[in-house]
A = this chain, B = another copy of it.
């Protein structure tokens, strides 16, 4: 059996580019061959296929539950923003207008005012909040929406950068700057916990530099993750707007002292980019590797002899048992060879494979094969459910530990520019270094090398006080890297 498996596996695996030879092509191969998404006739827009969308559905369900637990409610704003509304906050419009898609014709008429297809919805929420917030009794407002947004990108890649992408965007309104800031951090922590514990992706929490912060924000917080090629992926962001938007839109409320005050706002989002992170943090040369909590299929059952009625019957019994217990299970009853099925299940990243053959039935056992470490175990039927729970938990944990080890071994420190660039490129990872905090210094670094400040990390390890890039006095510690 093993021999067949390995032979057939090679045939399938050959179709996936080796991860060490061409990471970008490996990524595209995985996306396409596991049918996560497809290209469409609309340039730069993707079709999220059922397997990819099932991952997104699991992400939405879990994250939405977490939001609801902290009293966030969902709503739906229009997908269009009139140009006059978009341009009310100066920095915001400057950040987004170069990548807007514009509706100029509706029905058979040219519109009097063109409408932007939302690139993000701060302005729409402001317009709504201005209407519904009158008094401190109306605060806080903790709203969110699950929608797609459009940004007219020039170069696109599935999940990572596309003209239309899916996300949630939360928008809140508060009575004080302190409450807004606390909520910004609360959402950052919500994302960090979700990404680490549900997606098994370790993150670094920090604040964006002035240069990298969101258009219109006072402060932007971020969770950054490292991909297997050493590049960073900004996994979610949380923005504290202060009263900037409130002043631009004139959103005031009567406070407890009966005085008119501006509201304070936040926004925070996580998008389908995170599916790119799941691929690039966990995947390997066999294909996708999904953490059990987010995997659309947690267990693949493969009967070895599909032509044997009893084998199929026993496999089906197992399938029904596990489905009824709430596991997400598939069974492969096609006439393909077991070896092909093993490889296919691995390529699709299904965490646990259960093989059941005639000998297994006789011995009241099944065979477990883990996707993460390829370990094979014979499990007595009597211990089945307990063993599955144990393995799925352990796979989830092991995948996080493995990714955490990779992150830890790919963060270095640097005290000067040469060291900074060399270490990022040679060890393919992040570098901690002190920075002067000047926008121009960061911009020069980016233009010269492509390296960007990922964040000012919450945890600091450096003690020197000279900017590693320009040598001037340093303001704070920064984690630098190349980013998606």
Interface on A for B, CB 8 Å cutoff? Answer: 38, 40-42, 45-50, 52-54, 56-57, 73-82, 85, 98-108, 114-115, 117, 124, 127-128, 131-132, 143, 147-148, 150, 152, 154, 163-164, 166
Cβ–Cβ contact B79 & A50, under 8 A: no
A103-B101, A105-B101 known; A132 and B75 CB under 8 Å? no
* Chain B contacts for A56, CB-based, 8 A: 76
A78 touches which of B46, B76, B82, B85 (Cβ 8 Å): B46
Docked Cα-Cα span, A482 to B164, in Å, equals 40
Given A41-B85, A41-B127, A102-B105, 18 other A-B residues pairs in contact with their CB atoms under 8 A: A41-B82, A41-B124, A42-B81, A45-B78, A47-B128, A52-B75, A54-B74, A76-B148, A79-B148, A79-B150, A79-B164, A100-B106, A101-B105, A101-B106, A102-B104, A104-B105, A106-B152, A117-B117
A45 to chain B, nearest CB (A): 4
Could you tell me the distance between the alpha carbons of A100 and B210 in the complex, rounded to whole angstroms?
41
**In whole angstroms, what is the CA distance A127 to B39 when docked?**
11
7 A-B pairs, CB-CB below 8 angstroms?
A40-B78, A40-B128, A54-B73, A99-B107, A101-B105, A101-B106, A102-B105
For this chain, the copies found in one complex come to 2
With A47-B128, A105-B104 as contacts: A40 and B77 at CB distance below 8 Å: yes
Nearest Cβ in chain B — how far from A78, in angstroms? 4
A115 to chain B: closest residue by CB: B42
Complex: A166 Cα to B145 Cα, angstroms: 13
**Complex alpha-carbon distance, A124 and B132, angstroms:** 38
Q: How far is the CB of A326 from chain B (nearest CB, A)?
A: 14
Which single residue of chain B is at the shortest CB-CB distance from A85? Answer: B41
Of the candidates B41, B98, B124, the one whose C-beta lies within 8 Å of that of A107 is B98
* Chain B residues closer than 8 Å to A131, beta-carbon distance: 38
Judging by beta carbons under 8 Å apart, are A49 and B74 in contact?
A: no
Contacting residues, chain B, for A85 (C-beta < 8 A): 41
The 10 closest A-B pairs by CB, nearest first: A45-B78, A50-B73, A107-B152, A48-B76, A102-B105, A106-B152, A42-B78, A104-B104, A101-B106, A42-B80
Kindly state the separation between the CA atoms of A54 and B75 in the bound complex, as whole angstroms: 8
Contact A75 B49 (CB under 8 A): yes
How far, in whole Å, are A56 and B106 apart by their CA atoms in the complex? 27
Whole-angstrom distance from the CB of A256 to the nearest CB of chain B?
14
Contact A53 B76 (CB under 8 A): yes
Given contacts A106-B152, A128-B40, A76 and B47 within 8 Å (CB-CB): yes
A41 to B87, CA, bound (A): 14
The minimal Cβ–Cβ distance linking A272 to chain B, given in whole angstroms, is 9
B77, B105, B163: the one contacting A47 at CB < 8 Å is: B77
Closest residue of chain B to A45, judged by CB?
A: B78
Contacts of A147 in B (CB 8 A): 148
- CB pair A132–B166 under 8 Å, yes or no, is no
Q: Enumerate chain B residues within 8 angstroms of A77, measured Cβ to Cβ.
A: 40, 47
CB-CB < 8 A to A41: which residues of B? 82, 85, 124, 127
Partner of A128, one of B38, B74, B117: B38
**Docked pose: A355 CA to B164 CA in angstroms:** 49
A77 vs B102: C-alpha distance when bound (angstroms): 20
Chain B residues within an 8 Å CB radius of A143: 50
Determine how close the nearest CB of chain B comes to the CB of A10; give it in whole angstroms.
24
Whether the pair B102, A40 counts as a contact (CB closer than 8 A) is no
Known: A40-B127, A102-B103. A76 touches B166 (CB 8 A): yes
Structural contact, A38 and B103, CB atoms closer than 8 A: no
Q: A47-B75, A73-B50, A74-B57 are in contact. Are A164 and B80 (CB under 8 A)?
A: yes
How close is A126's CB to chain B, nearest CB, in angstroms?
A: 10
Residue of B nearest to A99 (CB): B107
Shortest Cβ distance from A142 into B: residue: B50
Q: Which residue of B lies closest to A114 (CB)?
A: B105
A154 to B74, CA, bound (A): 28
Closest to A77 in B: B47
> Across the two chains, which residue of chain B brings its CB closest to A130?
B41
A128 proximity list for chain B (CB < 8 A): 38, 40, 47
Chain B residues near A152 (CB-CB < 8 A) = 106-107
A209–B107 Cα distance when bound, in Å, is 26
